[in-house]
Structure formats: structure tokens, C-alpha cells
Amino acid sequence: DIQITQSPPSVSASVGDSVTITCRASQLISSWLAWYQRKPGKAPKLLIYAASSLQSGVPSRFSGSGSGTDFTLTITNLQSEDFATYYCQQSNSFPITFGQGTRLEIK
């Protein structure tokens, strides 16, 4: 199975800041990595697919990069609605696996 190590587990930031979240896969996964935002009581929301493609309707302050085993999600100019938990997910091979999540908190 492909293990995904996501870091940091949590991060504190202020409105207007930038943050970067990383995911490392235990094997090569090409660009089969997606990023999701999860808020309490709401369904997960797809932000980025294929490592760096912005899902339709997602603000451009969200961006993704990487390929192979190392990937990053960057959020610039943080807005209040961005404070949530973020997950990466690999879909290169079954079983599909998610990172452990990163909780983005308001400083």
C-alpha cells in the first residue's frame, strides 16, 4: 500500500498570511494526487486534482505543485473561510489513501 505522510498536523496563521502543507508518498505516484478541504458538518471539497490543476470554482489563492513523491498545497492571502482541515489523497493505485490531515487554525 502507498503511505501518505502529511505535514504539519496543524498550523496557525492569520488572515492575509500564506501557508504551505506538504504530502510525501511512500512510492512514486506520478501526479495522481488531490487536495481536499473539510469543514465540520460539510462534505469534503475538492480543491486541486492531478497535483496542480485547480478545480473549477476554487479561488486562485489555492495552488498545488509536485510530482513523483513530494507534493505541496499553498494557500496565499488566507481568508477567514479557509480555516479548515486539509487532506491530500493519492489515487495512483488501490487502496486509495489519504494523508492524516492538516488543521489550519486562526492565530
Partner 1 sequence: EVQLVESGGGLVQPWGSLRLSCEASGFTFSSYNWNWVRQAPGKGLEWVSYISVGSRTIDYADSVKGRFTISRDNAKNSVFLQMNSLRDEDTAVYFCAREVTYTRAFDIWGQGTMVTVSS
**Smaller CB separation from partner 1, 16 or 94:** 94
Beta-sheet pairing, 53-54 with 62-67: unpaired
Contact call for residues 107 and 18 (beta carbons, < 8 A): no
Beta-sheet pairing, 70-75 with 62-67: antiparallel
- Dist CA 9 CA 85 (whole Å): 9
Looking at 12-20, 66-74, 75-83, 98-106, which segment touches partner 1 (CB under 8 A)?
98-106
Q: Which residues pair with 98 in a beta bridge?
A: 89
Out of 45, 67, 74, 76, the only residue in the binding site for partner 1 (CB under 8 A) is: 45
**Smaller CB separation from partner 1, 18 or 30:** 30
Looking at 10-18, 66-74, 75-83, 91-99, which segment touches partner 1 (CB under 8 A)?
91-99
Looking at 15-23, 31-39, 61-69, 72-80, which segment touches partner 1 (CB under 8 A)?
31-39
- Dist CA 50 CA 67 (whole Å): 9
Q: Residues interacting with partner 1, by CB under 8 A?
A: 32, 34, 36, 38, 43-46, 49-50, 53, 55, 87, 89, 91, 94-101
